[in-house]
């Protein structure tokens, strides 16, 4: 009986040692190696986390103006938005205002319409507001070409779409500058007649105002190597007479 018990105990011990060996080789050892590699890479991971945190904080600072600007523009132009003559939306880190050409200009002309003064005053007030202070303001237009009109001496020549769009952008910028919008923030843009803003309800013939953060170019200090002084050449001693 004792021999049977002893054999059973020895068998169980051998099996246990075998399982332990298999566990050590197949599981524990690889896990220990993975842990060592992970521990070695912790400094790089912590560095990457720190850089990611800084990037997120920077992005949050750079985009903090967007929601207040949208609220101000949407509130200020609520009547035009309800009438379907304007819309305010975002694209990336930009705030975009789209206005139907009928709300600002006479058909086929860069002259402002009789109904535009109230909207123009609103634009001046909004673009002078603190919400967009320090931002770049792109004024663009897209419209259709105007065919020639009339005959003889009174004939009005045709005007292509881009030229008319450029004239409209210039006229609006001139008005904004005259009424106190910072000139250095205004940029004129003219689109072709085939330009259609994706996502816009008002397209083909509209004024587009894009408000964006101006680009910042980092200043990189370039170390210039100091010019080396010319090496003096030793003069040969005069030959003895």
pLDDT of residue 196: 63
- The residue with greater pLDDT, 134 or 24, is 134
pLDDT of residue 163: 93
3-state secondary structure the chain: CHHHHHHHHHHHHHHHHHHHHHHHHHHHHHHHHHHHHHHHHHHHHHHHHHHHHHHHHHHHHHHCCHHHHHHHHHHHCHHHHHCCCEEEEEECCEEEEEEEHHHCECCCCCCECCCCHHHHHHHHHHHCCHHHCCCEEEEEEECCCECCECCHHHCECCECHHHHHHHHHHHHHHHHHHCCCCHHHEEEEECCCCCCCCCCCCCCCEEEEEEECCCCCCCCCCCCCCCCCCCCCCCCCCCCC
Instruction: Check: pTM over 0.85? Answer yes or no.
Output: no
pLDDT of residue 154: 67
Q: Is it the case that residue 240 has pLDDT exceeding 60? A: no
């Amino acid at each position: 009986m004792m021999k049977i018990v002893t054999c059973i105990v020895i068998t169980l011990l051998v099996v246990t040692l075998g399982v332990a060996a298999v566990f050590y080789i197949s599981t524990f050892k690889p896990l220990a190696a993975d842990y060592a590699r992970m521990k070695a890479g912790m400094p790089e991971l912590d560095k990457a986390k720190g850089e990611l945190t800084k990037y997120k904080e920077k992005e949050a600072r750079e985009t903090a103006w967007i929601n207040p600007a949208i609220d101000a523009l949407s509130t200020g132009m609520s009547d035009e938005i309800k009438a379907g003559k304007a819309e305010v939306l975002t694209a990336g880190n930009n705030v975009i205002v789209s206005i139907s050409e009928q709300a600002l200009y006479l058909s086929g002309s860069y002259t402002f319409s009789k109904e535009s003064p109230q909207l123009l005053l609103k634009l001046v007030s909004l673009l002078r507001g603190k919400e967009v202070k320090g931002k770049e303001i792109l004024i663009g237009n897209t419209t259709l070409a105007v065919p020639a009109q009339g005959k003889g001496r009174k004939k009005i020549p045709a005007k292509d779409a881009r030229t008319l769009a450029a004239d409209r952008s210039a006229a609006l910028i001139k008005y904004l500058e005259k009424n106190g919008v910072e000139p250095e923030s205004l940029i004129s843009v003219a689109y072709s007649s085939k330009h259609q803003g994706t996502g816009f309800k008002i397209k083909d013939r509209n004024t587009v105002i894009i408000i964006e953060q101006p680009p910042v170019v980092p200043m990189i200090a370039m170390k210039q190597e100091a010019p080396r002084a010319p090496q003096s050449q030793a003069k040969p001693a005069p030959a003895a007479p």
